[in-house]
Amino acid sequence: MNTPLVRTGALKADPRLTAYFANEVERRAMTQAMFDQAAPGYDNAESLTALGSGAWYRREVLRHNGLQAGMSLLDVAAGTGLVTVAGHALVGPQGKVWALDPSPGMLAELRKKVAVKTIEGYAESIPLPDGLVDFVSMGYALRHVGDLNLAFSEYLRVLKPGGRVCIMEISRPRFRLAQSLLRFHIGVIVPVLARLTRRHADVKRLWEYYGDTIEAAIEPELILAALRRAGFVDVACSVSLGVFREYTGRKA
Ligand SMILES: C[S@@+](CC[C@H](N)C(=O)[O-])C[C@H]1O[C@@H](n2cnc3c(N)ncnc32)[C@H](O)[C@@H]1O
């Protein structure tokens, strides 16, 4: 586990990341501490910076990818529950929802909003039985996964046959102008917004890390290839505004 840098994860070995951690063990510990600390301010900062594009967008993505009333949903990397709450509303009272995240601080915020089963755990090792759910969601957390192969195999395992996975993530835009705009947003606008209220001070580091991990993220094609390798079919990726991606797949 004590490998030099993330090789099987969604991050390249990028010099920017050495400022944060030296190996996989440090990366996990740093990520958890960062999210625990940022948890109380996460939702406010998220809505100010729009980097997850809000609750409406998350709900719309789940809906148009087939999450329906009565289904069972596992929301991986649930955090403070922005995707979980949207999923919970869509599956309705006949549905079932599990929310998984390694950060107790983030899950504590989630439990203030929605009554679902919460599990402290990692995408790479999900403590749930095979064939449990109709839908697996993951919002803006792929860059924190240390091993995509393990995580996607786990998603496939917990899905029922015919079940779907839907992963929302931000990626580096292909065009120079869009890259510069995103860099300006993350490097200038977001830190200014973060300083505007003291409440957001704890999330400043989180957002800096966000910017660096977007730059260091592996190419979308490699994420699609990892989904196929895990055994998903109908694997696809759609992109909005050159930045917001939805990776989807189905268990045969
Ligand atoms: C940016 S938050 C996203 C929260 C929420 N899904 C949303 O859409 O706002 C990323 C979350 O991923 C969690 N996380 C980090 N590494 C993880 C892993 N290996 N498996 C599952 N969750 C992880 C963090 O604890 C954090 O709560």
Predicted confidence (pLDDT) per residue in 44-82, tens digit? 777 776 665 678 899 999 999 999 999 999 999 999 999
Q: How much is the pLDDT for 5? A: 41
Among candidates 243, 248, 244, 88, which has minimal Cα distance to 175?
243
* Atom number in ligand 1 closest to CA 77: 22
CA-proximal residue: ligand 1, atom 22 (nearest): 77
Tell me the C-alpha distance between 52 and 44, whole Å.
12
Pairing verdict, β 72-76 and 133-139: parallel
Distance 107 CA to ligand 1 centre (A): 10
CA-proximal residue: ligand 1, atom 27 (nearest): 79
How many domains is the chain partitioned into structurally? Answer: 1
CA-proximal residue: ligand 1, atom 26 (nearest): 79
Q: How much is the pLDDT for 201? A: 56
* Structural tokens at position 246: 């939805």
* Structural tokens at position 234: 């109908």
Q: What is the mean pLDDT of each run of 10 residues along the chain (252 residues)?
A: 54 82 89 89 76 82 98 98 97 98 97 97 98 97 94 98 96 76 75 62 70 84 95 96 91 98
Q: How much is the pLDDT for 2? A: 44
CA-proximal residue: ligand 1, atom 9 (nearest): 82
Q: Which of 1, 36, 144 has most ligand 1 atoms within 8 Å of CB, for mutation?
A: 144
Q: Which of 140, 165, 210, 214 has most ligand 1 atoms within 8 Å of CB, for mutation?
A: 140
Tell me the C-alpha distance between 223 and 127, whole Å.
23
Distance 100 CA to ligand 1 centre (A): 9
Question: Can you give the CATH number for the domain in which 108 is found?
Answer: 3.40.50.150
For the chain, first and last CA: distance in Å?
A: 32
Distance 241 CA to ligand 1 centre (A): 23
CA-proximal residue: ligand 1, atom 2 (nearest): 79
Domain with 99 in it: 1-252
Q: Which residue has the tokens 């992109």?
A: 239
Q: How much is the pLDDT for 112? A: 97
Distance 144 CA to ligand 1 centre (A): 7
* Atom number in ligand 1 closest to CA 145: 19
Helix (H, G, I), strand (E, B) or coil at 68: coil
Distance 89 CA to ligand 1 centre (A): 20
Q: How much is the pLDDT for 4? A: 38
